Chains A and B, each alone.
Chain A
Amino acid sequence: MTQNLSIPLSDLQPGDQGEVIQVQAQGQIRQRLLEMGFIRGARLRVEKLAPLGDPMELVIKGYHLSLRRDESACILVHRVA
């Protein structure tokens, strides 16, 4: 059952898809991530990493967003095939 293992979003590789389990950030960052669509069950796909390896580009709720590793590390997801 590797599928249901919860991992930080920062562990997903370009091309991987995931489903949000929980936003672990606190305060301002948490609120912002929620507003941008990181709610339980939201589907996302990692598009690519920036040329220098950080931040990452992902697609959520049909739009493209970039997140630094600092932020993506506090979003728990599980991988979706």
Chain B
Amino acid sequence: MSLTIALAGNPNCGKTTLFNALTGARHHVGNWPGVTVERRSGAFEQDGLTLEVVDLPGTYSLAARSEDERVAAQFLASPEVDLVLNVLDASNLERNLYLSTQLLELGKPVAFVLNMVDDAENRGVHIDVAALETLLGGPVIPTVGNRAQGIPELKALLAVLARGESTRCRRITVDYGHDIEGELAKLETEICRDEKLEAAMPPRWLALQLLENNAEAKRRVAESHASEAISQQLTKSFAFLEPHLGADGATLIAERRYGFAHGLVKEVATAPDEGRTPTARLDAVLTHRWLGIPIFVGILALVYSVSFILGKIPQDWIAEGFKALSDFAGAHLPAGELTSLLVDGVIPGVSAVIVFVPVIMILMGCIAFLEDTGYMARAAFIMDRLMHVMGLHGKSFIPLIMGSGCNVPAIQAARTIESRQDRLITILVTPLVSCSARLQVYIVIAGTFFTPFKAALAIIAMHFLGLGLAVLMGRILRSALFAGPSSPFVMELPPYRLPVLKATLIHMWEKGSVFLTRAGTTIFAGATLIWFLSRYPGIANQEWTAQYQEQRQAVAALKLPGAEEEDRLRALQLAHESRIVNTSLAARLGQKASPLLRPILDPDHKRAEAWKDVIALTAGFVAKEIVVSTMAVIHQASDEPKPGERLSPLQVSLRDNSGLSPLTALAFMVFTLIYTPCLGTVAMIRREAGSWGWAGFTIAYGLVLGWGLAWITVAAGRALGFA
């Protein structure tokens, strides 16, 4: 026998910690159908029963306006739910009880957890649990979620309730007063004319939502055959209540609910001590008028360095490990299609996926830490003014800044933004922020065509251009996609709390594994496709392979000293690969597509090698840094400088043979910045925005915008007299 318990509660009430304490580490993370709200479920055994627990998104209400609320309201009303477990923050009882007044209307047994009783006690709030139980009409278990206190009692109670052996759930609802109750009853009668409507949710609950002018409830009614009778009654009810009670339905109902909550709290809890709480003392510094911003910048710098400087160490190990594996396989397997598939396709593909994992886990760990301590809300509070001007939310700031390390975890970090609009816009503009992989391309190109000082300026300019474009696109997308008022910024500043290490670790693990399973496959498939395009048909040419083998044997026969032999062999390998890549499908595509890029990369039609850029840029779709290694192959020149020389052979070749001028080189950098996010980012956008459509949109607008800006660069540069 298995039963389902829905865990409901406000944000910051310790629900997730409680969920972890109940289910241990055994949970499943996915998305709710059709939306990008995380769905976490797990199970535990008690007295021979399997109890399934579903952690609902934290909400203040069930009014079904935001995605989170819609998910919670729909799931709670579904027959799947056997029992509702309402988690209450004992130190913030009154506001937490607002949601409870709605949960009590759902017609399901409700049990309560009074969480973080220790916090409440510290503030001098003592709660009479027995009295609370009587007034709420359901069992109440006090717990301290982060110390697993009260968890065994809670499990035992849930098992008893699940078996239906308890008589402790008495189904109390708020009394809305004679006038409102009268109108509710009339509405219920009309609702009950439609059996389907009556069965979907308790008629009283629907009637309440109608009186609150809830759009979702109205939509439901509009689909019913009784809609006319219900609407007429609703109009009559409004006409009676508003003049009679001096306010509209929504206000009246909210007032009654808070009246219930206020009365209840007065009855069962002592008033908190006067005097400053630890949170107020911390906030006196952390959100201080002058100190707030410097502290925020400091914390941001710390998170950034931990993620991208510390995270780079394991990242380098992984990259080097895979490189060594690929070199080893290349040296020991006979040259040919299968070897190339393994060496140039599979191994780099897997590597391209796994390199992201350390930085994702570290950054997500940091963000979970900031979130769980309560500082994230303060960060948004501090930065909101600036971000609001840009058409974004205070919480968009951190993802945008983290994007300059790597776009992939930055997009994942946008999860902390509650409003779907703000989150989507943040996700869509983050790829414009120049990441560290693009930096490698700039260094090669700028280093070739500019003096060191100008190169540094150009590289810095790319980063500012990326941020500026993100801001500009944010504004454009806001007005183009979400015309109308922006979502309200009504954000709780929860008390500071010490996070539970275990919860942070679980969170990191989940983010890492979700990335591997969901985004990993996309990246891998894309990498294999690019391999195919850039190696065929040359790789299948037996004659070339045989020639390559002969040349290698000839070099080996010379018995040269170790280092020289290695150099010669490497040159042969480069020549062989160059031959394959320069005749590949990608090269043909490059020749076909180069007229498209001519206005930006070859305005004088003088470059014979313009098509090679297309190959490099196509390969860069897998990961931007691959642009450099691909250029090395197509220009048949190593990208590692010889000792004592400033420029690598690749850079010399680019300078002497590619036909790029400083101006077109700059256009190339601009285009590289914008043209498309890398595969990892695309896969992450697809996952976080919830559709391939948005991922495709990001690629498309990137290409258009990148081309446009590169064109402007060339046109403006020429107008100013640069070549």
User: Interface residues, chain A, CB within 8 Å of chain B?
Assistant: 23, 27-37, 39-40, 42, 48-55, 57, 61-68, 70-71
Contacts and interface: CB of A to CB of B under 8 A. Distances in A.
A51 B668 CA distance: 40
B492 interface: yes
B510 interface: no
Contact of B63 (A31, A42, A48): A31
26 contacts: A28-B65, A28-B485, A31-B61, A31-B212, A37-B94, A37-B258, A40-B251, A48-B287, A48-B289, A50-B381, A51-B288, A51-B290, A51-B292, A52-B384, A55-B381, A62-B92, A62-B95, A63-B492, A64-B492, A64-B493, A64-B495, A65-B491, A66-B490, A66-B491, A68-B388, A70-B489
Nearest to B12: A63
B492 A68 contact: no
A63 B293 CA distance: 23
Contact of B385 (A35, A42, A55): A55
B723 interface: no
Contact of A63 (B92, B258, B385, B489): B92
A66 B63 contact: no
Given A31-B250, A70-B489, 18 more contacts: A31-B213, A32-B488, A33-B490, A34-B254, A36-B490, A39-B251, A42-B258, A50-B382, A50-B384, A50-B385, A54-B385, A55-B491, A63-B95, A64-B492, A64-B495, A66-B377, A66-B489, A68-B489
Nearest to A48: B287
A35 B98 contact: yes
Contacts of A36: 60, 95, 490
A30 B381 contact: no
A62 B270 CA distance: 13
B421 to A, nearest CB: 11
Contacts, number: 119
B386 to A, nearest CB: 6
B321 interface: no
Interface residues of B, number: 43
Contacts of B334: none
B30 interface: no
B24 interface: no
Contacts of A30: 250
B493 A40 contact: no
Q: Which 5 A-B pairs have the closest CB atoms?
A: A52-B385, A34-B254, A64-B493, A51-B292, A29-B488
A67 B95 CA distance: 17
Contacts of B485: 27-29
A39 B255 contact: yes
A29 B490 CA distance: 9
Nearest to B212: A31
A31 B63 CA distance: 8
A19 to B, nearest CB: 14
B272 interface: yes
A61 B208 CA distance: 23
Contacts of B279: 64
Contact of B61 (A35, A49, A55, A61): A35
B130 interface: no
Contacts of B491: 55, 65-66
Contacts of A28: 65, 485, 487-488
Given A55-B385, A65-B492, A34 B251 contact: yes
Contacts of A32: 60-61, 65, 488, 490
Contacts of B61: 31-32, 35
A19 B185 CA distance: 33
Nearest to A39: B255
A65 B487 CA distance: 16
B247 interface: yes
A56 to B, nearest CB: 9
Interface in B348-363: none
Interface string B469-512: 00000000000000001011111111100000000000000000
A25 to B, nearest CB: 8
Nearest to B125: A62
A18 B716 CA distance: 57
B251 A51 contact: no
B250 A34 contact: yes
Contacts of B65: 28, 31-32
Contacts of A67: 489-490
Contacts of B494: 63-64
B186 to A, nearest CB: 23
Contact of B493 (A33, A34, A66): A66
A48 B490 CA distance: 15
Contacts of A31: 61, 63, 65, 212-214, 250
